[in-house]
Amino acid sequence: MNDNRLTLMEAIARRRRITALYNGTRMTLAPHQLFERHGALFVSALNLDKNWRSDDQRRLGHFKLDGLGAAALEEEEFEPLPSFEAAAPRDDDILLMAV
C-alpha cells in the first residue's frame, strides 16, 4: 500500500486535513471519502485553498490518487460539509471509506 493511500485513509478516519501536490499544485484538502472508479482510486475532498463565493457553494471535488503526491497529514481537524452524505458519486463507483 503506498504512503499517499495510507495518509488519506488516516485523514478520513481522524477527520484531519492534508496538504498534497495535485498535478503539480500544492493544495490543502479535507478528505471526506475514498472510492474506486474503474479500478482507480479517488478521494472526494474539499479544496480548502479554493475561494468560494459563499459557504453554501462549497462542494467536494474528486481527485485521482495517481495525480496526488507528497500527501502530509496536518494537525488541524475538519468538520465534514453539512450536506455530505457518504455515498459513491456514481452508481458504478465503489465506496471504500468515509468520514
* pLDDT tens by residue, 24-48: 899 999 999 999 999 999 999 999 9
The C-alpha cell 503506498 sits at 2
Report the chain's mean pLDDT, rounded to a whole number: 93
Distance CA 94, CA 48 (A): 25
Q: What predicted TM-score, i.e. pTM, was given to this entire model?
A: 0.92
Are β-strands 25-37 and 94-98 bridged in parallel, bridged antiparallel, or unpaired? antiparallel
Helical ranges in the chain per DSSP H? 3-14
The grid cell for 45 is: 475532498
Confidence at 1, pLDDT banded by 50, 70, 90:
low
Residues 6+ apart with CB under 8 A from 69: 4, 20, 21, 22
